[in-house]
């Protein structure tokens, strides 16, 4: 039997649900990496290590975790009231953290240029776009969530996908996350930490 990701990629049906899932798996999720990388480039150009420094870089790591956890769970488990609650909570917290992020940058005098603000608009809207599509695909689970999961025996536990995504797809997405998210933002945090340490050393020598 062909795995779910392979069937969807082949486009053998015109079912709206399959088309939407194909869009999420092969369009929106991989496309998410583009504005993420672009934002990292903007941070580097404005020398984040010399302005907002480690604090803002850690906020970026927090935001990635806020969207990364729901994505990881959605790739491995069935969408049910529990997973929807995690997704909704992650999106809400991510939005609040995004406001904190911009405030931190502005207060530090790091120049947040119009281009970077436009990139942020993509990074803020994509979680809601993905969540809206998932809720349309799983309207029954949304209805169950609004009822507190009553009548749904697996409402509040993680249930492995009945038709799991292929190891190849999961490996590819994992590699993309490593190359486009973990590596550049890890480099950013390391750069900020090194600059902060160097600044402390200079401060001590000046005493």
Over range 44-72, report the average pLDDT: 96
Rounded to two decimals, the pTM is 0.87
Residue 15 clears pLDDT 80, i.e. is over it: no
Among residues 181, 45, 173, which one has the least CA distance to residue 123?
181
Buried b (16+ CB within 10 A) or exposed e, 174-206: eeebeebbeebbeebbebbeebeeeeeeeeeee
The per-residue pLDDT for range 140-152, each reduced to its tens digit, is 999 999 999 988 8
* 69: confidence class by pLDDT, cuts 50, 70, 90: very high
The per-residue pLDDT for range 1-11, each reduced to its tens digit, is 456 666 656 65
pLDDT of residue 35: 96
């Amino acid at each position: 039997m062909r795995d779910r990701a392979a069937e969807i990629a082949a486009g053998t049906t015109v079912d709206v649900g399959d088309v939407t899932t194909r869009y999420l798996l092969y369009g929106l999720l991989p496309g998410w990496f583009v504005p993420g990388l672009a934002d990292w480039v903007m941070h580097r150009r404005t020398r984040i290590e010399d302005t907002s420094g480690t604090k803002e870089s850690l906020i970026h790591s927090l935001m990635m975790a806020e969207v990364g956890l729901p994505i990881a769970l959605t790739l491995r488990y069935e969408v049910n009231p529990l997973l929807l609650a995690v997704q909704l909570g992650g999106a809400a917290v991510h939005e609040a953290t995004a406001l904190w992020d911009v405030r931190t940058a502005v207060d530090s005098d790091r120049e947040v240029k119009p281009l970077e603000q436009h990139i942020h608009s993509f990074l803020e809207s994509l979680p809601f776009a993905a969540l809206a599509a998932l809720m349309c695909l799983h309207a029954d689970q949304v209805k169950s969530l609004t009822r507190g999961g009553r009548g749904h025996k697996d409402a509040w536990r993680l249930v492995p996908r009945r038709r799991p995504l292929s190891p190849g797809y999961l490996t590819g997405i994992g590699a993309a996350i490593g190359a486009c998210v973990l590596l550049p933002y890890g480099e950013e945090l390391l750069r900020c930490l090194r600059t902060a340490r160097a600044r402390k050393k200079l401060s001590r020598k000046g005493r």
